[in-house]
Amino acid sequence: MAWTEEIGWRGFALPRLQADRSALSSIIILGVIWGICHLPDRMSSEDFSCSYFVLFVIWTIAVSILFTWLYNNTKGNLSIAIMLHAAINTTLSCMSVDRIDFYALTVALMWVVAIVIVRTFGPVKLSRETSNCSGGVEWLRLQRRNLLKDRGREELIPVWNSDILVQPQTREELKRILNKNILDMSFEEEVVRDMGEKHRRKVNYPVSEQTLNGDNENLKDLVKILIRLAQSIDKAKANLKKKGDIPIIDFEFYISRE
C-alpha cells in the first residue's frame, strides 16, 4: 500500500539518509533498496526477466528523484508523497500495454524529468531552500540571521548543532572559508549596527581593514575547530555502525544571551 511504503521510505529512511549525505546519494541508495524490496512481487509476474527487473530498479531511482524533490520542497510533507505513490500504483494497475515496454518508455521519460530536476535544484538538497544564499559571506550572513531570530527568553542561545554540521552544504562552506577571506566590510558594518540596536546605543567598534583581517583569521580558527568536530562525528558514527548501533550523535553549542 502507498501509505505504508511512504512512511518507511520517505517518512523514516530518507531523512536519516540525508542527514549525512547529499540528496542524490540518498536517492540512489533508497531507489536501489526500494526496487530490490519489490523483487518477490515482480518474480511472481509471468513476464519477469532480469532485464525487466534492472529496468524497474533504474525506474525506481528516477522516480525517487521526483519523490525526494517534492518531499524536500514541501518541508517533508508526507501526504504529497503518499498521493503520488497511490497515483503511480493506480496507473500501473490500469495499464494494458506490456509492462516491459511500459517501463522501457517510462524509464527514459522519468530520467529526462529527473535530470532536469537535478540540474535545476542541485544534487545536494534538490531544493531551492539555499538558492537565496550564494555561498561565502552570504551563507554566513544567513546563519547569523537565523541565530538572531527571537528565541523567547532563554538564558542560553543555541548557536550551532549537529543538524547543521552534517549538512553537505555546511561542509562545503567551511572549506570555502578556510581557502579565502570571505568577510567583507559590509558584513562588519552590519555586525556593528546590530550590536548598537541590541544595546540601544552607539557601539564604539572601529571598522577597518585591520579589524576585518583579524575577524577573518578568527573565523578561520573557529572553522578549523568545527571541521575537526565534523571529522570526529564521522569517525564516531562509523564506529557505531560497526557495533551495530544507530549512528546518531546530537549536540548543541550555546552562548549566553548577555
| Residue 167 scores a pLDDT above 50 | yes
What are the tens digits of pLDDT across the range 74-121? 878 888 889 999 988 887 777 655 566 666 787 899 999 999 999 888
Percent of the chain at pLDDT > 90 equals 14
pLDDT value of position 133: 38
**Distance of alpha carbon 166 from alpha carbon 57, whole angstroms:** 29
Residues in the chain: 258
- Residue 140 CB partners (closer than 8 Å, separation 6+): 173, 177, 182, 183, 187, 219
Whether residue 27 sits in one domain with residue 65 = yes
Are 101 and 187 contained in the same domain?
no
For the chain, counts of helices (H) and of strands (E): 12, 2
For residues 103 and 119, state if they share a domain: yes
> Is the pLDDT reported for residue 186 higher than 80?
no
High-pLDDT (> 70) share of the chain, %: 72
Q: How far is CA 125 from the centre of its chain?
A: 4
| 141 and 115 in a common domain | no
Alpha carbons 61 and 36: distance in angstroms, whole number: 11
- For residue 158, what are the β-bridge partners? 254
The helix/strand/coil state of 81 is helix
| pTM for this model (two decimals) | 0.51
- 168 and 223 housed in the same domain: yes
pLDDT higher than 50, residue 130: no
Of the candidates 128, 149, 164, which is a domain's last residue?
A: 128
Least trusted range by pLDDT, from 46-50, 65-69, 152-156, 252-256: 152-156
Give yes or no: residues 136 and 120 share one domain: no
Instruction: Please count the structural domains in the chain.
Output: 2
* Inter-helix orientation angle 209-242/168-179, to 10°: 140
The DSSP letter of residue 184 is: -
Identify whether residues 151 and 248 lie together within a single domain. Answer: yes
Q: How far apart are CA 192 and CA 2, in angstroms?
A: 53
pLDDT in tens, 225-238: 888 888 888 888 88
pLDDT band at 63 (very low <50, low <70, confident <90, very high): very high
d(C-alpha 238, C-alpha 23), whole Å: 20
Asked which of 128, 159, 182 is the last residue of a domain, the reply is 128
Q: How confident is the model at residue 258 (pLDDT cuts 50, 70, 90)?
A: very low
Structural domain for 67, as ranges: 2-128
22 and 54 share one domain: yes
**pLDDT-derived band of residue 216, with 50, 70 and 90 as boundaries?**
confident
Angle between helices 50-73 and 23-37 (to 10 degrees): 140
Q: What is the mean pLDDT of the chain?
A: 77
pLDDT at 35 over 50: yes
Classify 95 as helix, strand or coil.
Answer: coil
Task: Give the span between the Cα atoms of 122 and 118, in whole angstroms.
Answer: 5
Q: Which of 169, 73, 80, 67 is nearest to 114 (CA)?
A: 67
Q: pLDDT at position 55, please?
A: 86
Alpha carbon distance 138, 136 (integer Å): 5
Q: Which of 228, 248, 226 is nearest to 238 (CA)?
A: 248
Same domain, yes or no, for 202 and 233?
yes
What is the rounded CA–CA span in Å between residue 74 and residue 24?
A: 17
Task: State the Cα–Cα distance between residues 229 and 231, nearest whole angstrom.
Answer: 5
Of 103, 128, 153, which residue constitutes the final position of a domain? Answer: 128
Angle, to 10 degrees, between the axis of helix 137-148 and the axis of helix 168-179? 120
